[in-house]
Chains A and B, each alone.
Chain A
Amino acid sequence: MQWRIMGGVVFLFVLVCGINACEETQKPPTAHTIVLKGSAYDRGFEHGKTFSSHIHSIYTRLLTSSIIPYLNREQMNIAPILNKYKEVQFLDGRFSYQMMLESGKLMYDYYIPDEYREEMRGIADGSGLSLDEVIVLNTFYDTMMGFRAVVTFIQNIQEPVIRNLEVTNAADTDTIDNNGDGQVDEADEWLVEPYLPSPYATLVEVPLDAEFRFLLDDPRLGGMTYIDPRNTEPFGEMVFGADCIDETCLSPECSKQSGYPLECLDPRYREEGCYSDVCFDNDCAPREVIPDCYDGRCLKREKDDCAYLSHDSDCYQSGCMSEECIPHIVEPDCYSEACFADQCMPLRDQIVLYPRLNISCLKESCVQNSDPGCVNKDSIRIRVDQTQYTIADGSITTRQLEEEQEGGLIDSSGSECKGPLEVIFRPPGGLPPAAEVTLLIQASDMSPIYSPEPYHNRNMRDERIVITTKGYAEKYGKGQVPREIGNRGVSDSSMMPPSISFAARGSATPDGDPILAHHFSLLDNDMMHEHSLLQIHVPENGTPHAFLGWTGLVWGFSGMNSEGLAYAVNNSDSLDNPLVGRTLDAIFENIGDLIADPNLEGLAEALQSVRLLASGTAIGFAARELLQNKTTVDEGIHYLHSIAHTYGWNVLLADAEGGLAAVEIDAGTQSTTPYDPDVLGERDGFYYYTPDDSNPQNLDAQGQRWSSVGPDDLRMASHYRKNIEDMEEIPLMQIFSPRQQYKWTGFYFRSLRSYYILGDRIEEKLGSIDVSTAIDILRTPELVDTRDSMSSVVFEPAKKRFHWAMGDVPATGLPYEPFDFSTDMEGGTP
């Protein structure tokens, strides 16, 4: 009986357990839809209120713990050249936030239409984020892209560069224009000089036993690496030891000390000795260099001659600053010396505040040693298709050359670098016959870069060169000149495809109706997809519209309005942006001195007042204006033409009537003549084309459509097709000259590859490109960025509906959800 009793109890127990909550948790949705109606403020408020935690999440996880600290690391490279960023308001981790805020406020104050300012105010009020934070969230993208370009530019001018390349053992008798220079079998038939990255093959019909010769230069600018005061040991690892610091840069107390004088250079250590700590309060700037001026929150009234170096304008007293400095950021020459202790004041002229030491405090010999101007021969890697070769395997040999006064090159092995490094490469086993072959060239110089971490040498961009080998032209019937072969390269898992878009209509689609497809990839950061938000706006004035965006943002990279005007934006890197433009203007003003003595100290002097501010209408806001106030592609082109832009973009437009256009934009900072924004025309920084071949503007120099397979399609990736000279070189500026997109951006070669593959896919499906086919094309594995995919959509402008995918990575892996303006204008899924 006892066993029955126990068995019964066990049964009851199991029953109790079974009815308990045992189900697994279900994942909440990562993509939402919201329909917003009413005034701009009301729509923003509703958005902010509904997605408050998402907005705080995106701000924290994207900006606070990713972008802001990530860009802060660049202060160490930026501040020594752009001296503005040594100022106090940019210190202690505030550099990138402050920079983005200043830039955002400039756009907010002068370029963003009232409608969207109100909407952002609503988001701030609804979500609890400050308006400044909402501004940064909505503008950081434009600032960040420009900032990236500045950083890349500064790095670029110091990186190794390929001067030329040549096949040294080929005969000049094949009656083919092997190097595409327009001449056949001339003396330098196999020489490509200067080497320029090309969207096409660089050489064709290369002999199978070819020996390649490259010349690599490494610009010498006197070093860009500085001591990190936080990193005081061991000095042996640093570029500069303590013995490299000029004694005049040390305060008297510090110079008496032995050991680590770097500590004395950090204002956090200096202030104790030099300033009275009773002056500070928590709200203003407790860490900064203010003497007996503070009382409570701000300056003592009786000490009006004191100044305060802070971004908190309400902490200033006007008596300390010249009128033009208020309420802007305080310039160094706006302080009153009375505010500083005598023994400290002189130091300000000599020592860069945390985190870096001014180059003027470094002894010249140390500076020279930091950048020997040599390409590191051991760093050279040459990949032939999928096989990589290095100097260690014997297929690569190098020789240090020196420039002769007469202009020639002589062997200078054994002495310091005074010329290019010659690289001779003969692929072991030869090249495959009648084939497209990809050469990938990698090299770094001998400048050790400690910051941003991790430690590395300065690397040039991986240059991808495509060639064809003997027999290719005969076998495939093309490739008599390099231009007939696209530089698509081989599959490379280290390169993710960038954003792509394409449009089709008429003969390209089954029913003739237009479609526009887009896959945007840039920065998921393992979190953006969790904040996906399809926003449908029904404004009080303007056209109802929808766009694929994110919580807290008032824009997206693709969208469509109820009239059928649709857009898709891809980033297209350009140095022709306001941040670089300001830098170049300052360089240009001082170009004489810089060329006479090209070094970073001089560059820093020239750029001392330059600020990194993006100006123009941020692309997302421009896109909102398109949706809200335009209905056709022509109107869209006119609008984009009429405004100033912040960066480089490729915009694809489609409308309900079948209008298609590709617009290639940059900031147009090199424009020398003013243009009438009301009169449409191409200009510096603004190019557009359609598939219509009856208009010469839509055809390239060879009479081909710029970016179409047939008469009814267009495609774009993340490089320019027409705006090739986005940022023209300025020979006068020599090494400091800006460069075209194709010479520097890391997107270039991967974008080319995607562009060509996309073209192939469109050509395969021409005539049958409906929504389903478009999605198939977007899902082509080689076109999908599996790391930073952010949104994907196929618009049907004539039918006023679209199919969108967001909320996972890659977005193209998700089902495409339909949205129809005629039926889905209510509700949402918050």
Chain B
Amino acid sequence: MTGRRNNKSLNVRAFWLALVFCLLWSPQLMAGFTETLPMSTFLIDEAFTISWVDKRWDNNGDGAALVDSVERFEPGGGRQGEIIPEPKATYMVLINRLQYGILDDLTFGIGIPVVIATDVDPNIKWETGDYQRQIGRSYSEDDFWAWAESMGQPRIDSWSGNKGELSDIVLGLRFRWTHRIPVFKEIGLQSALSVLGVIPTGKHADPEELVAVGTTMWDLNFQGDLAFHLSFDKSFEEELDGRLQIGLDLFYETFFDRELTSATGEKNPLMRNFAPYIGENYTVNPGDFSGFGVMIDTVPYKGPAWATWLVGHDPEKAKALPPILTLSVGYTFVHLQQSDWSSEFPLWDYDQEELWKPGYKNILSAQVMVSFLRLGVPLRVYVQHRSLSLIPGKNARAPEVLTTGIQIPLKFW
């Protein structure tokens, strides 16, 4: 008989898009985890990402709508019905990346994601509740919203925004520490340590909006504010003519506490008016990520190696250039820690934490890369798809992410 629902307000705005996209490190020359650029080389990478999400994995690992349904009650008159949101969100992001080879085994990178647009369709459904004597029927969906509007609460509508908004900028360094140890080269194993940090240039969602998403790393779920990656690549140069590479990436990513502004009810007086009791601001620790990724790169077609201007007309150097076609598949496991919300009202904190409980996500990815370097054109084109919906996760959103981009290596001296 116990077990009251906990979802106190419709919280459509607070779902991570979970793009889960390596923001900084573009697909590398061999698409492995440990590659660094040759010294004094730039790599410009322009990628367009579109992500869509309409489900999540719940605490039991079952597929569910992104947002819990919300029961609504007539004051003293029982249950009016249940708002059942089945939202779908679409995110389009332009990711501008620049990497520079400081040394042959040390690369610096900067990533500047710019959100092109975010669209959220709350896709609200309604389940009727108790019979309401005063109107002689149960509330229909229209009845409920007419009621809500008479109370000052506007009907939930689609939301579109973040047009041209900057996300958090990411800076990073990758050091391929095995580069200088011959034994690793002998056994075909390379390892790199990467450190990434975020400059908080993104914006949080408007707290007053019911349906809104921000552009911070937390909103996009690209990565943590500070990330450490230890990566390994095993290539099979001799055995398989370099047509196979297996990579392993271990990572730990942490989010810093962030202070957010509480909703005052200015736009949604019934559904988002927390400030009077939780305080004007509250802090969130989203919980850290940790996990590992495995990637297998295969080369079905190396292509000709022309001794073009790119390699100083040197045929040997041309052979060292990346193959024309590389196919990669990968799997990433991400463990999510419990989020920690802190306001003046512990029960509200708990309600939010319930939405972000510990869990994990299983990510499958596939990538096709076509390189024209061997043909004397400094250009590579790639398409990548990442899916969190194929293998069930837990307490995680399940987006699909499609990315396409181009890379242009440059060397000025």
Contacts and interface: CB of A to CB of B under 8 A. Distances in A.
Interface in B96-147: 130-131, 133-137, 139-140, 142-144, 146-147
B345 A451 contact: no
A461 B248 CA distance: 71
A30 interface: yes
A405 interface: no
Contact of A16 (B140, B234, B252, B354): B252
A70 B148 CA distance: 9
Nearest to A457: B136
Given A16-B252, A525-B76, A526-B71, 4 more contacts: A22-B337, A54-B345, A56-B276, A65-B273
Interface stretch (A364-372, A605-613, A810-818): A810-818
A67 B3 CA distance: 25
Contacts of B279: 53
Contact of A10 (B250, B269, B270, B338): B250
B174 interface: no
A462 B131 CA distance: 11
B187 interface: yes
A496 B78 CA distance: 8
Interface stretch (A1-9, A619-627, A647-655): A1-9
A426 to B, nearest CB: 24
A2 B234 CA distance: 8
A20 B335 CA distance: 10
B86 interface: no
20 contacts: A1-B187, A6-B234, A13-B290, A20-B288, A22-B338, A53-B278, A57-B348, A60-B274, A64-B276, A69-B270, A73-B150, A379-B136, A452-B147, A452-B150, A455-B143, A456-B135, A522-B76, A526-B8, A808-B3, A813-B2
Nearest to B343: A53
A824 B185 CA distance: 74
Contacts of A65: 265, 269-270, 273
Contact of B149 (A20, A28, A453, A746): A453
Interface string A255-293: 000000000000000000000000000000000000000
Given A9-B230, A453-B146, A746-B133, A24 B357 contact: yes
Given A24-B357, A69-B270, A454 B75 contact: no
A17 interface: yes
A229 to B, nearest CB: 14
A527 interface: yes
Nearest to B151: A69
Contacts of A455: 143, 146
Given A65-B270, A451-B150, A494-B131, A9 B232 contact: yes
Interface of A: 1-2, 5-6, 9-10, 13, 16-17, 20-28, 30, 52-54, 56-57, 59-61, 64-67, 69-70, 72-73, 93, 379, 442, 444, 451-457, 459, 461-462, 494, 496, 522-527, 529-530, 746, 779, 784, 786-788, 808-810, 812-814
Interface in B235-254: 248, 250, 252
B316 interface: no
Given A9-B232, A787-B79, A444 B1 contact: no
Contacts of A456: 134-137
B270 A453 contact: no
A359 B146 CA distance: 24
Nearest to B348: A57
Given A10-B292, A530-B347, A22 B358 contact: yes
Contact of A13 (B4, B250, B269, B358): B250
Contacts of A457: 136
A304 B253 CA distance: 69
Interface in B1-23: 1-6, 8
A25 B338 contact: yes
B362 to A, nearest CB: 15
Contact of B1 (A16, A93, A810): A810
Contacts of A9: 230, 232, 248, 250
B237 to A, nearest CB: 14
B151 to A, nearest CB: 4
Given A9-B232, A13-B292, A454-B146, A20 B337 contact: yes
A57 B187 CA distance: 64
A100 to B, nearest CB: 14
B8 A527 contact: yes
Contacts of A53: 277-279, 344-345
A21 B338 contact: yes
Which residue, of B3, B136, B146, B338, has the highest number of chain A Cβ atoms within 10 A? Answer: B136
A23 B358 contact: yes
Which residue, of B76, B146, B287, has the highest number of chain A Cβ atoms within 10 A? Answer: B76
Contact of B75 (A57, A379, A496, A525): A525
Contact of B78 (A25, A60, A788): A788
Which residue, of B146, B274, B278, has the highest number of chain A Cβ atoms within 10 A? Answer: B146
Nearest to B230: A9
B226 interface: no
A522 B345 CA distance: 25
Contacts of A13: 230, 250, 252, 290, 292
Nearest to A7: B248
Given A9-B232, A93-B152, A453-B146, A24 B358 contact: yes
Across the A-B interface, the 6 shortest Cβ-Cβ residue pairs:
A813-B1, A494-B131, A57-B277, A454-B143, A454-B146, A56-B277
A16 B340 CA distance: 20
B4 A529 contact: yes
A64 B350 contact: no
Which residue, of A2, A72, A784, A814, has the highest number of chain B Cβ atoms within 10 A? Answer: A2
Interface in B341-385: 344-350, 353-354, 357-358
B309 interface: no
Given A2-B187, A21-B338, A25-B338, A808 B290 contact: no
Given A525-B75, A788-B78, A20 B290 contact: yes
B256 interface: no
Which residue, of A5, A54, A526, A784, has the highest number of chain B Cβ atoms within 10 A? Answer: A526
A444 B189 contact: no
Contacts of B339: 25
Contacts of B137: 456
B136 A60 contact: no
Interface in B283-302: 287-288, 290-292
B220 to A, nearest CB: 23
B75 A25 contact: no
A420 B274 CA distance: 52
Contacts of A21: 287, 337-338
A461 B139 contact: no
Contacts of A462: 133
Given A22-B337, A25-B338, A526-B73, A69 B133 contact: no
A496 B142 CA distance: 24
Contacts of B188: 2
Nearest to B79: A787
Interface string B34-78: 000000000000000000000000000000000000010101101
A786 B73 CA distance: 12
Contacts of A494: 130-131
Contacts of B187: 1-2
A787 B338 contact: no
B399 to A, nearest CB: 23
A34 to B, nearest CB: 16
Contacts of B73: 524-526, 787-788
Contacts of A787: 73, 78-79, 130
A73 B147 CA distance: 9
A444 B136 contact: yes
Nearest to B1: A813
Given A454-B146, A456-B136, A808 B152 contact: no
B142 A17 contact: no
A234 to B, nearest CB: 15
Contacts of B276: 56-57, 59-60, 64
